Chain A
Amino acid sequence: QAHTPGSRAIIAMSEGKRLVETGRVCLCNYGANLGKLVVIINVVDGRRVLVDGPNADPKKAVKRQIMPLARLSLTTIKCDIMPGARINTLTKAMKAADVVGKWNAGSWAKGMAKKEAKASMGDFDRFKMMVARKTRAKAVNKAMKKMVKK
């Protein structure tokens, strides 16, 4: 079977593989931009890509730059842009594809948020968490005992 680039892409999509391609949404997993979403604008070579991550929140925005692929974790989200798309086009395309919405709805983002919330718990919060776990365990055990008795 001859695999043309197009057919390869189709096969990859059907298998759920994430390709390095224009429009692929990625998460930065290293460096100053850790935790920020970016979109691949173009591919430089086998190791590096040109990325851009516009965001209304300046703390979450990533300037257009060349990033090594090692710093990026590919997501399943894509947006429809031409290679080299400029920031306004990119922003429109991201909105159309609802990149941020899809990302936040996914379990990946939810897991990250959960981890962050746990790490930022203060001493009092940890105490309240402990109390909540104990009360829940008590209620569960009580119900279990009732069920076991029957």
Chain B
Amino acid sequence: MPATTARKAGKRSVSKAKKVVRKVLSRTKIGKKAPHNESATVGRSASYKRSGKWAVKAKNKGKFPVVKAPAKKEEAKTKAPRFYAAEDVPKPFNRRNVVKPAKLRDSITPGTVLILLAGRFRGKRVVFLKQLPSGLLMVTGPYKVNGVPIRRVNQAFVIATTTKVDVTGVDVAKFDDAYFAKAAVKKSKNADEFFATAKPTEELSPARKADQKAVDSKILAAVKKQEFLKPYLNSRFSLSKGQNPHAMVF
């Protein structure tokens, strides 16, 4: 066994137990693997020394620390269930997957003109405003230009063009997913209402109209500054013969 007694300078005020621990630690190299040239069979005392149990004892005044078993909790008395399923009910797996909002493409920044590829306004070019917490993109036509209101759009169904509109100063902080969520439809229990062919169309609230105006006013001013941008936003995108989207620059 190597007999290196490493005396550490400046530690003379340390308690006796610690001194013993440090001295023997350095000698027996606790925590380090035995050198491979030493024989595998180690005597009981050597293995005890190496395990470091004596150090635990030394720390705890010559005895092993006693850990009390945690008090057993009294089990709540449960009633027998009223219903037993005839066949085994499959238990769903534990899902630890957290759905994160989609990462916004680098090509999409506030003010980017996007081409919508699906939905009612497919082919329309709209102005991107911000990404909502759910991951969907908030866009606007502007409404006066091409009839697209402030709306949510999925990033996957959008082509980002290189054209940008200046949207600094447009306040979109108050818009979130709750704003755009559809109002819960009341299920009618009245037979007449259920079979009514003409469903009552909801008028757009004046608050929504005001919001649309507030958002669009600055964007319209910016659109006017760029020549041909207004008719461009009003037009619809389509592919013609010989055009390959993968080879086109947008």
The interface-forming segment of A16-24, A71-79, A90-98, A122-130 is A122-130
- Residues from chain A with a CB closer than 8 A to the CB of B232 are 124, 127-128
B231 contacts A123, C-beta separation under 8 Å: no
A124 lies within 8 A of B249 (CB): no
Any B CB within 8 A of the CB of A70: no
**How many B residues touch the partner, as a band?**
10 to 19
Report the minimum CB–CB distance from B30 to chain A (whole Å): 60
Which residue of A has the minimal Cβ distance to B237?
A: A123
| 1/0 contact string of B153-169 vs chain A (CB within 8 Å) | 00000010111000000
B64 within 8 A of A: no
Nearest neighbor of A130 in chain B, beta-carbon distance: B235
8 Å CB interface, B98-113 against A: 113
B48 at the interface (CB under 8 A from A): no
Complex interface: chain B residues within 8 A of A128 (CB): 228, 232
Contacts of B115 in A (CB 8 A): 123
| Residue A131 interfacial (CB < 8 Å) | yes
Q: Which residues, 84 to 140 on A, are CB-close (under 8 Å) to B?
A: 119-124, 127-128, 131
Closest-by-CB residue of A relative to B160 is: A123
> In the bound complex, what is the Cα–Cα distance between A126 and B125 (angstroms)?
14
B231 touching A124, Cβ below 8 Å: no
B180 within 8 A of partner (CB) = no
List the B side residues contacting A120 at CB < 8 Å: 249
B residues near A123, Cβ cutoff 8 Å: 113, 115, 125, 159, 161-163, 237, 250
Task: Find chain B residues with CB under 8 A from A124 CB.
Answer: 113, 161-163, 228-229, 232
Cβ of A122 and Cβ of B163 under 8 Å apart?
yes
| Given A122-B161, A122-B162, A122-B163, residue A127 in contact with residue B228 (CB < 8 A) | yes
Interface SS majority for chain B: mixed
Give Cα distance in the complex from A131 to B227, angstroms.
Answer: 12
Write the chain B residue with the least CB distance to A124: B163
Which of A120, A121, A124, A131 has the most chain B CB atoms inside 10 A of its CB? A124
B191-231 at interface with A (beta carbon < 8 Å)? 228-229, 231
Q: How large is the interface on A (under 10, 10 to 19, 20 to 34, 35 or more residues)?
A: under 10
Question: In whole Å, how far is B94's beta carbon from the nearest beta carbon of chain A?
Answer: 47
A122's contact among B228, B235, B250, by CB below 8 Å, is which?
A: B250
- Bound Cα distance A43, B228 (Å): 55
CB-defined contacts of B161 to chain A, threshold 8 Å: 122-124
How far apart are the CA atoms of A122 and B162 in the complex, in Å?
7
Instruction: Check if A121 sits within 8 Å of B228, measured CB to CB.
Output: no
Q: Determine the distance from Cα of A123 to Cα of B229 in the docked complex, in whole angstroms.
A: 11
Contacts of B228 in A (CB 8 A): 124, 127-128, 131
Q: Measured between C-beta atoms, what is the minimum distance from B157 to chain A in Å?
A: 16
Please name the residue on chain B nearest to A122 by beta carbon.
Answer: B162
Contact with B along A29-41 (1 / 0, CB 8 A): 0000000000000
Give A119 to B161 CA distance when docked, in angstroms. Answer: 15
In the assembled complex, the CB of B226 is this many whole angstroms from the nearest CB of chain A, namely 9
Contacts of B229 in A (CB 8 A): 124
Q: Could you tell me if B231 and A131 are in contact, using CB atoms closer than 8 angstroms?
A: yes
Residues of chain A contacted by B113 (CB below 8 angstroms): 123-124
| B240, chain A: closest CB distance, angstroms | 10
Expressed in whole angstroms, the minimum distance between the Cβ of A138 and any Cβ of chain B is 15
Residues of A within 8 A of B (CB): 119-124, 127-128, 131
Give 5 pairs: A residue, B residue, CB < 8 Å, sorted on A: A119-B249, A122-B249, A123-B125, A123-B163, A123-B237
Give chain B's interface residues, CB within 8 Å of chain A.
113, 115, 125, 159, 161-163, 228-229, 231-232, 235, 237, 247, 249-250
Leading 6 A-B pairs by shortest Cβ distance:
A124-B163, A123-B161, A122-B162, A123-B250, A127-B232, A128-B228
